[in-house]
Amino acid sequence: MDPTSQIIVALDFDNRRAAEEIVDRLGEECRFYKVGLELLTAAGPDLVEHLVAKGKDVFLDLKLFEIPNSVAGAVRAAGALGASMVTVHSMGGTGIMAAAVAAARDFPRLRVLALTVVTSMTSTDLAEIGVNASPQEQVLRLAQLAQGAGCHGVIASPQEAASLRGVLGPNALVVTPGITLPGESPTEHARPGTPRAAIAAGASHVVVGRTITGAADPVAALRLVRANLEP
Active site residues: 63
Q: Would you say the C-alpha torsion 46, 10, 190, 174 has a positive or negative sign?
A: positive
Q: How far is CA 67 from CA 24, 40, 64, 230, in A?
A: 38, 21, 9, 42
Q: Which is nearer to ligand C5P, 102 or 136 (CB)?
A: 136
Helix axes 94-104, 135-148, angle to 10 degrees: 50
Smallest CA-to-CA distance from 90 within 116, 124, 61, 52 is with: 116
Question: CA 154, CA 168: separation in Å to the nearest integer?
Answer: 9
Q: Would you say the C-alpha torsion 53, 60, 87, 212 has a positive or negative sign?
A: positive
Q: Which is nearer to ligand C5P, 64 or 179 (CB)?
A: 179
CA angle 152, 157, 161 (to 5 degrees): 60
Q: What's the min distance (Å) between Cβ of 36 and ligand C5P?
A: 5
Q: What's the min distance (Å) between Cβ of 147 and ligand C5P?
A: 20
Residues binding ligand C5P (CB under 6 A) = 10, 12, 36, 61, 118-120, 177-179, 187-189, 207-211
Residue nearest to ligand C5P (CB): 209
Q: What's the min distance (Å) between Cβ of 81 and ligand C5P?
A: 18
Q: What's the min distance (Å) between Cβ of 18 and ligand C5P?
A: 14
**What DSSP string describes 171-191?**
TSEEEE--B--TTPPPSS-SS
